[in-house]
Amino acid sequence: MLSTKLSIAVGTMAGTALFGFLFFLPVAGQGQEYDVLIKNGHVIDPKNNIDTIKDVAIANGKITKIDNDIPATQSKKTIDVTGLYVVPGLIDVHTHVFVGSKADKFADGIYSVSPDDFSFKSGVTTVVDAGTSGWRNFPLFKEQVIDKSQTRVLAFLNIAGSGMSGKPMQEDVNDMNADSTAFVAEKYKDIIVGIKIGHYEGSDRSPFNKALDAGKKLNRPLFVECHLPQYSLEDQLQMMRPGDIITHSYEQVSERMPIVDEHGKVRPFVLMAQKKGVLFDVGHGGAGFWFSQAVPAFQQGLAPNSFGSDLHRFSMNAGMKSMLNIMSKYMAIGMSIEDVVIRATWNPAREIKREDLGNLSEGAVADIAVLSVQKGKFGFIDAGGNRLEGNKKLEAELTIRAGKIVWDLNGLAAQPWKQ
Amino acid sequence: MMYLKRLLHRFPGRTIYIMLMIFCFFVAGILNAQQIDILLKGGHVIDPKNKIDEQMDVAITNGKIFQVAKNISPHQAKKLIDVTGLYVTPGIIDMHVHAFNGTDVDAYIANGLTSLPPDAFTFRAGVTTVVDAGSSGWRNFRLFKKQTIDRSQTRVLALLNIVGNGMVGRYEEQDTTDMNPQQTAYMIKKLFPEIIVGIKAAHYWGDFTQVDRAVQAGDLANVPVMVDFGEHQPPNSIEALFMQHLRPGDIFTHTFSYGPAVRETVVDDSGKVKPFVFQAQKRGIIFDVGHGGGAFSWRQAVPAMQQGFQPNVISTDLHAESMNSGMKDMSNVMSKFLNMGMSLQDVVLRSTWNPANVIKRTDLGNLSVGSEADIAVFNLRKGDFGFLDVRKTKLKGTQKLEAELTFRAGKIVWDLNGISAPLWQEELKKK
């Protein structure tokens, strides 16, 4: 009995080995140099001026080749994306993701949200936190969220030492220190991309100047939120340097003068600021985006430079929903898909001086979004609860982060199950 | 007349005039009343409890269901929403989630990063009530309540873990000295009977000790027990679990998981549903989907459905490892069952009225007049869709549920396409 079993075992082993060898041979012969091949998609890569059907090959988490008709035999895995758009992983420059358990707080609190809960399902692979933390609590933010997220999380550091920690702490001028802010920003320069000013109700100019000062020391952009009711819009735009970013560009609230006047005209000084090089971010949020501002502004040539969502607890289920939804809004307003993609990828990458991102250059990290354009009757809501109708809507079919599939809406990358 | 005379005597002149005016306004108000806050018009209502499955209008007033009937006049309503072509159902109940989100970076699910804040996932999928499946135990439930339950717009109910520390980590979950039926029952019955609707036993590597303690607590508190029954090597018998250890009304979750080395499956190797599984369901054992990141396989679910074995309850097992994988959200899991051949009516039943009954919260999961206006409005999309299981194989499908509009206690908390909103150009004209 024993010897029979043994011989069966030996036979099985030999068979397995032979099978394994035969299986291995053709594989080795073909040289599958790519891990994943995304085939037949319409690639839009604004940095590299690509806007046509191409194949994208990924190896070791990087973009390895973009070409016409790369053979499927050269890749371990091939995903057919015929009829879909292949774009660089989207970058959302305005989010609040310093999520924690403190009630009624953005910094380390429940008003912030967790990046992975929202990013991949809308094609986003990089988010920039808009000053939820300051130099005092950035290390906690890093430990608690940034290091634990699959999404790439970058940050604007708030000039307020404890970031968006609520009143009165976040408005304490004595806790706004350009040197400490610059020091921490420099220490974490791979993550911190700029300085943020917002949430100050006094008329004292020192907070703005300190933020500018830190930005100058670092040669980094300043990100200007609203909530500065004592500073006029004109003053803010005047103090800003080329490359600095104003967000909530299309809001219509009492705390900041709207960019479009009561006759529906973009104010001349706003257009001048744009000419000077000030960048306009959407910063949709719960209150920051109104069709009554955005539509006339777009028609008069003031399109946003980036589609920052201002993702947080109060925008996630409102008109904002996701950055992809904001992109769809702009398609409904009349922007071409090419113009939408550049504002979601290469523009924000340059805005935050991270030109390694937002493109599909060979050698770049393989952060990729595969999008479908749904056709139908859709509606979009603004912060005022008003609706704009459209007939197209973007949907994230597949999201890849550093070569890894992190979202697959309809199982494009999967094999059918067999009974 | 006598009354009027006396009145005139007491309130002469001007006062009586004012009173009459007020009275007239009051009467006019009743006659002309827009008694309805919001009217959902033209939708196909599926309300399994009340056996409604046809086109009906639904009226909401003061956060409650005011009327469900054909052709309710829009003149009675302050706000009218046309939902023609859409399905109107009770707010969906997701009976299996992990929502004890916190900042303990070393913890697993209790107060940790694997749990998720519910509002980020619920309304966009039509869900208005979630049941946390044992993320907390009696030692840390109060923290969970303070941190998440009390701060969420979603109605958050909970199953209390039989382990006092809940799901802090796998090793802590093995500690039988921290499985205290009396403390667990006490917390449910005496302290939080409105929130805690049952008990959870999960992730235990040993014998039936954990399940038996949970059932003991369930007897003491008169609530059901949900069991995640895996991670035993070799697997413990699920027949023994269903027939000897659990009571009718107790819940077996992760019904369609496939990991035969550590977890006995409901469908055998030849693709047949084990006969005792049907008997167990007949006996009253509740089968819950609990999809999760590792607990739903087509090779189990499809044959089961083909052989007439349907889960009693559809649920997600929402957590950080399932949210971006094959699970995604509740409407996606519901859509999977549609595409396996379950009728829409059955899908809705298993996501509303069934879970409401299982957790003994029959005030939920229905559209009876007077109940809280938790409502989901779905669009049934037609097209080519694919659905992933946890083993990354896909089932192709032709229909997909999408949450268009979600109400929580009469308030619009999700509106995908702005069907409740006015056109922005109209707002401009008003200026």
Report the percentage of chain A scoring pLDDT > 70: 93
Residue B234: cis peptide before it, omega within 30 degrees of 0: yes
Query: Beta A75-80 vs A34-45: how paired, if at all?
Result: parallel
Other Cβ atoms within 10 Å of A412 Cβ, number? 19
User: B349 and B227 in one domain?
Assistant: yes
Could you read off the pLDDT of A90-106 as tens digits, one per residue? 999 999 999 999 999 99
CB contact under 8 A, A381 and B421: yes
Q: What is the mean pLDDT of residues B58-69?
A: 98
One domain for residues B171 and B268: yes
Please give the residue of chain B at the shortest CA–CA distance from A147: B105
Point out the least confidently predicted range of A14-28, A75-89, A103-117, A172-186: A14-28
Are residues B225 and B142 part of one domain?
A: yes
Query: What total of structural domains would you count in chain B?
Result: 2
Q: What DSSP element (H or E) covers B23?
A: helix B14-31
How large a percentage of chain B has pLDDT more than 70?
91
Decide if pLDDT at A171 tops 70: yes
In the predicted structure, residue A9 carries a pLDDT above the cut 90: no
Residue A90 bridge partners (DSSP): A124
Q: Helix, strand or coil for residue B314?
A: coil
CA distance A91 to chain B (A): 18
Q: Which helix (H) or strand (E) holds B411?
A: strand B411-415
Does position B195 have pLDDT exceeding 80, yes or no?
A: yes
Which parts of A89-160 are beta strand (E)? Answer: 90-95, 99-102, 109, 124-134, 152-158
What is the pLDDT averaged over residues B217-242? Answer: 96
Domain span at residue A270 reads 89-351
Whether A214 is in a domain gets the answer yes
**pLDDT value at residue A175:** 95
Q: What is the pLDDT of residue B425?
A: 87
Residues B129 and B256 in one domain: yes
For the sheet with A245-246, list strands across it: A90-95, A124-134, A152-158, A192-197, A222-224, A245-246, A279-280
Residue B9 has what pLDDT?
53
Q: How high is the pLDDT of residue A21?
A: 46
What does residue B385 show for φ and ψ, rounded to 5 degrees? Answer: -125, 160
* Nearest CB neighbour to A144, from listed B103, B119, B328: B103
Answer with the residue of higher pLDDT: A226 or A66. Answer: A66
Pick from A173-182, A380-389, B2-11: least confident: B2-11
Which residues of chain A neighbour B424 with C-beta distances below 8 Å?
Answer: 291-292, 295, 382, 384, 386-388
B12 plus B97 within the same structural domain: no
Query: Does A29 score more than 50 pLDDT?
Result: no
**Domain assignment present for A150:** yes
The model scores a pTM over 0.90: yes
Residues in chain B: 431
Coil, strand or helix: which one is A213? helix
User: Starting from the edge strand earliest in sequence, which strands make up the sheet with B286-287, in order?
Assistant: B92-97, B127-137, B155-161, B196-201, B225-227, B251-252, B286-287
User: Which domain CATH number covers A249?
Assistant: 3.20.20.140
pLDDT of residue A6: 38
Confidence at residue A390, expressed as pLDDT on a 0 to 100 scale: 98
Q: Say yes or no: B415 contacts chain A, CB-CB below 8 A.
A: yes
Q: In the prediction, which pLDDT does B7 show? A: 47
pLDDT of B32 higher than 90: no
Tokens 């109605």 found at: B155
The token pair that represents A360 in the structure block: 């599909």
Domain count, chain A: 1
Instruction: Give the per-residue pLDDT at A14.
Output: 47
Residues B368 and B232 both lie in one domain = yes
Q: What is the reported pLDDT for B428? A: 66
Asked if the model's pLDDT at residue A317 lies above 50, the reply is: yes
What mean pLDDT value characterizes chain B?
Answer: 93
**Count of alpha carbons within 13 angstroms of residue B89, beta-carbon side:** 31
Residue A24: is its pLDDT beyond 60?
no
Q: Which domain holds residue B24?
A: 1-32
Q: In chain A, what's the furthest Cα-to-Cα distance?
A: 97
Q: How far is A113 from chain B (nearest CA, A)?
A: 8
The residue among A33, A55, A34, A49 whose CA lies nearest residue A370 is A55
Give the nearest partner residue to B394 out of A110, A313, A416, using CB atoms: A416
- Stretch B206-231: mean pLDDT, rounded? 97
Question: Are residues B158 and B12 located together in one domain of the fold?
Answer: no
Q: What was the pLDDT predicted at A25? A: 45
Residue B41 placed within a domain:
no
Query: For the segment A248-275, what is each residue's pLDDT rounded down to a tens digit?
Result: 999 999 889 999 999 999 999 999 999 9
pLDDT digit string, tens, across residues B179-193: 999 999 999 999 999
Q: Are A85 and A370 in contact (CB under 8 A)?
A: yes
Beta-carbon pairs below 8 A across chains A and B = 128
